[in-house]
Amino acid sequence: MNKLIILASGSGSNAIKIIEYFENLNDTIVSAVLTDNRHASVLDKCKALDIPTVYFSAALFGSSAFIDLLNSFYPDLIILAGFLKKIPSEVIVKYPDKIINIHPSLLPKYGGKGMYGANVHKAVKENKELESGVSIHYVNENYDEGQIIAQYKVDIDIDDSIEQIAKKVQRLEHLHFAPTIETILKKNG
Ligand code: GAR
| CA 173 / ligand 1 centre spacing (Å) | 9
Ligand 1 probe mutation, 173, 176, 181, most atoms within 8 A of CB:
173
Q: Whose CA is nearest to atom 17 of ligand 1?
A: 13
Query: pLDDT, tens digit, for every residue of 157-188?
Result: 999 999 999 999 999 999 999 999 999 999 99
CA distance 41 to 97: 28
Please tell me the CATH code under which domain 2-188 is placed. Answer: 3.40.50.170
Q: Look up the pTM and report it.
A: 0.97
pLDDT digits (tens, 9 = 90+) for 103-121: 999 999 999 989 999 999 9
Question: pLDDT band for position 13 (50/70/90)?
Answer: very high
11 lines ligand 1 (CB under 6 A): yes
137 is catalytic: no
Number of Cβ within 10 Å of residue 112's Cβ equals 13
- Rounded to whole angstroms, the Cα distance separating 108 from 99 reads 18
- Burial label, 95 (beta-carbon count in 10 A; 0-12, 13-18, 19+): middle
CA of 101 to the centre of ligand 1 (A): 9
Q: Which atom of ligand 1 is nearest to the CA of 14?
A: 18
Average pLDDT over residues 33-39: 96
Confidence of residue 26 (pLDDT cuts 50, 70, 90): confident
- Judge contact between 182 and 29, C-beta under 8 A: no
Domain map (residue ranges) of the chain: 2-188
CB atoms within 10 A of CB 25: 12
82 lines ligand 1 (CB under 6 A): yes
Q: How far is the CA of 117 from the centre of ligand 1 (A)?
A: 6
From the candidates 103, 121, 137, 176, give the one annotated as an active-site residue. Answer: 103
